[in-house]
A and B are shown apart, each in its own frame.
Chain A
Amino acid sequence: MKSAAFAYHAPAAVGEAAALLAAHGERARVLAGGQSLVPLMHRRIERPEHLVDLNRVAGLDRLEAGPEGLRIGATARQRQVESDPAVAARWPLLAEAIAEVAHPAIRNRGTVVGSLCNADPSAELPSAALALEGTIVAAGADGEREIPLADFFTGPGETALSRSELALELRLPAPPPRTGSAWLELARRGGDLPVAGVAAVVSLDADGRCERVRLVCANAAPVPLDCRFQAEALLGAAVDEEGAAAVGAAVAAAAGPVDDYQGSAVERRRVLAVLVRRALLLAAERAGGRS
Chain B
Amino acid sequence: MSEPGRISIELTVNGEAHRGEVEPRTTLADFLREELRLTGTHVGCEDGFCGACTVHLDGASARSCLLYAVQAAGREVRTVESLAGPDGELHPLQEAFRRNHGLQCGFCTPGMLMSALELVESRAGGDPPDEGEIRAAIAGNICRCTGYQGIVEAISEALDDRAGTAE
Contact = CB atoms under 8 A, between A and B. Distances in A.
24 contacts: A1-B46, A2-B30, A4-B25, A5-B23, A6-B24, A9-B2, A34-B71, A35-B48, A35-B63, A38-B66, A38-B67, A38-B68, A39-B47, A42-B46, A43-B47, A79-B60, A102-B140, A103-B141, A104-B140, A105-B62, A105-B140, A109-B57, A109-B63, A109-B67
Q: Is the interface of B mostly helix, strand, loop or mixed?
A: mixed
Closest 3 CB pairs of A and B: A103-B140, A8-B24, A105-B61
A106 B63 contact: yes
Contacts of B1: 8-10
Interface of B: 1-4, 7, 23-25, 27, 30, 46-48, 51, 54, 57, 60-63, 65-68, 70-71, 115, 118, 136-137, 139-141
Nearest to B54: A105
Contacts of A103: 51, 136, 139-141
Contacts of B60: 77, 79, 108-109
A118 interface: no
A191 interface: yes
Contacts of B118: 104-105
A3 interface: yes
B101 to A, nearest CB: 24
A104 B62 CA distance: 8
Interface of A: 1-10, 31, 34-35, 38-39, 41-43, 49, 51, 53, 55, 77, 79, 102-106, 108-109, 190-191
B24 A105 contact: no
Contacts of A42: 46-47, 65
A281 B60 CA distance: 37
Contact of B2 (A2, A7, A35): A7
Contacts of B61: 104-105, 108
Given A43-B47, A103-B140, A55 B23 contact: no
Given A7-B24, A34-B67, A190 B47 contact: no
Contact of A105 (B4, B63, B70): B63
A27 B68 CA distance: 19
Contacts of B4: 5-7, 49
B70 A8 contact: yes
Nearest to B51: A105
A106 B48 contact: yes
Given A8-B1, A104-B61, A109-B57, 13 more contacts: A2-B46, A5-B4, A6-B25, A8-B2, A8-B7, A10-B70, A38-B65, A38-B68, A39-B47, A49-B4, A103-B141, A105-B118, A109-B62
Contact of B24 (A5, A43, A104): A5
Contacts of B65: 38, 42
A187 to B, nearest CB: 11
Nearest to A102: B140
A59 to B, nearest CB: 17
Nearest to B118: A104
Nearest to A7: B4
Contacts of A4: 25
Nearest to B67: A34
Contacts of B67: 34, 38, 109
Nearest to B75: A55
A190 B139 contact: yes
B125 to A, nearest CB: 17
A241 B51 CA distance: 42
Contacts of A77: 60
Given A38-B66, A104-B61, A109-B62, A7 B3 contact: yes
Contact of A51 (B23, B24, B62, B136): B24
Contact of B68 (A8, A105, A108, A190): A8
A2 B25 contact: yes
A5 B137 CA distance: 34
Residue among B46, B66, B115, B118 with the most chain A CB within 10 A? B66
Nearest to B7: A8
A3 B136 contact: no
Contacts of A34: 66-68, 71
